[in-house]
Chain A
Amino acid sequence: MSELFEPVLRGHDERRRAELVAAYMAVEHAAEPVPEVRFAALREPALRRALEEMLALSGRTLVRSEQTRWISGYRDDVAAELAAEPECVPPAHERAVLTLVLIHSVAIPRAAGLLADDSWLSPHPTPVEELRRRTQLPIGELEAALRRLRTAGLVAQVKAGADDAGGFVPGPQFHRLTAGARRRLQEELILAAGPDSPLAAAIRARRRGRERDRGETR
């Protein structure tokens, strides 16, 4: 039995303790956000707070989805520190492929009005042909990158259907981005694809402002 969680769990009776453990394992390991109706520790605010404390021990936090579902993700400050360590960030060729999937499956359908939800998951597959023929990526890297991204749950494969060729969509890990991380992802994509747009200018101005604020409070 691990000592790590004892300070949080100690004060709870065995039922609540079991509920906390169940909710903890569920949000940490489920593929998709879990419904709070099934887990008392997600439903009850006091238990949910204890659950947050358990998650915080490993730099994680609850991410809410569709009002009544929950999953866990890295806290923004923890993610920022880890992202500064090169070995914690996926290699460049995997990131490049993932960015392309995000553009084709989310950004373009979103811009074309085909995607209504404010989510980084999408039913619109990025065709493999698009990745293979119409990008600047070396082909040799593509297959290997897609395989690794798939294993890691960063992309999911959509089998060819009656009227589309199938391809790849963002994987279940995108459920785990906090609202802050999702917003940042949107900003990074806009800065990259439309650096010249007024929107990019607004993003840069706001970031400069934030850095200034931080500088002053130090």
Chain B
Amino acid sequence: MSVEPAVLARARARVLGAVAVGAADPVPPGTVGASDGDRVWVLPAWPDGATPALLEEYQTAPVPLDRPGQARRVLAAALRCCWTRPDDAPWPGESAAVAAVLGVYADMSRGDAVLARRWATGELRRLADTGWLLLDEASGTVRPGPRVALWAEHALPSLRDLLRRLPEPARDGDGGE
């Protein structure tokens, strides 16, 4: 009756989302491990290099997001600060101050900067909840999340190009370094 452990582990990864195990712990077979040296995040393995972006090619709607544009702009602002060596992969990237990310976002946006920061803060939390960013609220820093490790290399050039064009993060204040 009992389910094969590897099958159960892959199902568990979908239930839990991107969760981290110790870097020394084994990653379940048939999953992708994204390691930052200390920890490994368990991610789904997809066949033949496909990503969920494939749905668009088949005119199939993914689970709808609230304000997807805003979420992606905040993600771009965060990557502008955390993906400091664009020629490398975005994962694991570097830590950056949340303040710097909010600053970049406010510079990118039109209208009330205070409001923009507030929206962006909520968006940072949601992105962290879904594995796209790693948010350390205590230290006020943010890093790329393990899900960016699922991005295919061939999909990245336009994003690299975009990030170069975004406003530069502030280098002063409480630690944009």
Contacts and interface: CB of A to CB of B under 8 A. Distances in A.
Interface of A: 1-5, 9, 17-18, 20-22, 24-26, 29-32, 34, 38-39, 54, 56-60, 74-75, 77-78, 81-82, 85, 87-88, 148, 150-151, 153, 172
Contacts of B12: 82, 85, 88
Given A78-B3, A87-B16, 4 more contacts: A2-B30, A24-B47, A78-B7, A151-B126
B47 A59 contact: no
B46 A2 contact: yes
Contact of B62 (A30, A38, A82): A30
B11 A21 contact: no
B58 A22 contact: yes
30 contacts: A2-B30, A2-B32, A2-B45, A2-B47, A4-B30, A5-B47, A20-B47, A21-B50, A21-B54, A22-B58, A25-B50, A25-B51, A25-B52, A25-B54, A25-B55, A26-B58, A30-B55, A30-B60, A54-B47, A57-B7, A58-B30, A58-B44, A59-B3, A74-B11, A75-B3, A78-B8, A87-B16, A88-B12, A151-B130, A172-B63
Nearest to A214: B1
Contact of A21 (B3, B7, B47, B126): B47
Contacts of B47: 1-2, 4-5, 9, 20-21, 24-25, 54
B55 A26 contact: yes
Closest 4 CB pairs of A and B: A59-B11, A4-B30, A2-B45, A58-B10
B10 A59 contact: yes
Interface string B38-68: 0000001111111110110111111110100
Contacts of A2: 30, 32, 45-48
